[in-house]
Structure 1
């Protein structure tokens, strides 16, 4: 056998314990046994101490000796007790599965729905380990790789770039500063979603418009300007936003090409919408869109200590 020991962690087997017992009776030292088994001397020393039993000799004197059978039973008992008991039972599993299928994130499930009896990381672990009986498609945002788009110069210049936006807007000090985008459901010329997200409260506005044109966008914005306060609006460089200044009297800023993170608030909300209307959705209705908007505006947010955008609007 090897004259050195490996650092790879592996439990002693019954055969190894029997060899330890035999070699101890032959008078070998613990260090010699460690070399023969390719184990650490400390491992053998701990094993011998844990496997001690009292044995009486012919003179009725008791001596401590190593017993491989006793050591193996002790090992099995300790292994059984070392397994952490899980809180996951049938009832808890049904609750978590219900909310995940209802498009609720693990953070909100753990903190709000289950009142903190388990952590969000525990829910994620159960998900990834398959202990909830869910498939990859049931997860809100399953991990996947995306091809990297080449960054090219953007010839479009509809107005002020985001670099000119005041720092106070970036710091979300005041209500009324919005980010805007369109969400396409299919590649066919069908209705699309116009989405607006208020930067401070994360209030979401979703409208179903006829198509992805500047005329349809401006027509809807003119209606919304009578309901909401627009102090500024930040858009991407899509052609549908080329004439925003014609529909709104507020400042309009444009993000750089291939820089969706510059409108990260709105992009994250679009991902929430995709929970209900994934790519390829052929049909939806204004009522269905309104229900999604109401759900999002009543959805607890971790950043607001699990208050919703509607509660933030009310100063809750």
Structure 2
């Protein structure tokens, strides 16, 4: 699973994977997202778009902790989260669908994210997500 902010991070296609070793309850997801959001500069945290999953039931407390509003896609409308759906497809090259993600360490997930962030993307004019993010951070 990838959870990415909607605007600036989406424009870079930069991937941040959350490590959820115990479960993916609303509280666990909120805590992991809050930690990830706090690692980003304020100008990169504009919004988060989510599907209709119950793991985001604590979205109000996430928004309170981070000042990042959460928007939800319409049911059965994956095109409203196109970047996320594309990234999930890329992740399947490293972690097959149906795999128990709790067996993967934070280090492994960070390595997968680094590989994805180092891959040139046609949609970015053949720049990598890491290069695009670096440009945004330099501004």
Q: TM-score, normalised by structure 2?
A: 0.81
- Do 2:4 and 2:10's aligned partners in 1 also have CA atoms closer than 8 Å? no
Corresponding residue for 1:268?
86
- More strand by proportion, 1 or 2? 1
**In 1, Cα distance between the equivalents of 2:37 and 2:134?**
20
Corresponding residue for 1:217?
29
- Runs of 4+ with deviation above 3 angstroms: none
In the alignment, is residue 293 of structure 1 matched against residue 113 of structure 2? yes
Report 1 or 2 for greater relative contact order, CA contacts < 8 Å, sequence distance ≥ 6: 2
**In 1, Cα distance between the equivalents of 2:129 and 2:87?**
12
Q: Deviations over 1:162-204 (max 9, x none)?
A: xxxxxxxxxxxxxxxxxxxxx3xxxxxxxxxx53252111111
Structure 1: which 5+ residue stretches go unaligned? Answer: 1-182, 184-193
Q: Identify which of 102, 124, 133 aligns with 1:304.
A: 124
The correspondence of residues 234-249 of structure 1 with structure 2, limited to 5 A, is 234-248=49-63, 249=67
User: CA-atom RMSD, angstroms?
Assistant: 1.7
Residue 208 of structure 1, CA deviation: 1.6
Structure 2: which 5+ residue stretches go unaligned? Answer: none
Moved more, 261-270 or 222-231: 222-231
Corresponding residue for 2:99?
281
Structure having the higher Rg: 1
Q: TM-score, normalised by structure 1?
A: 0.37
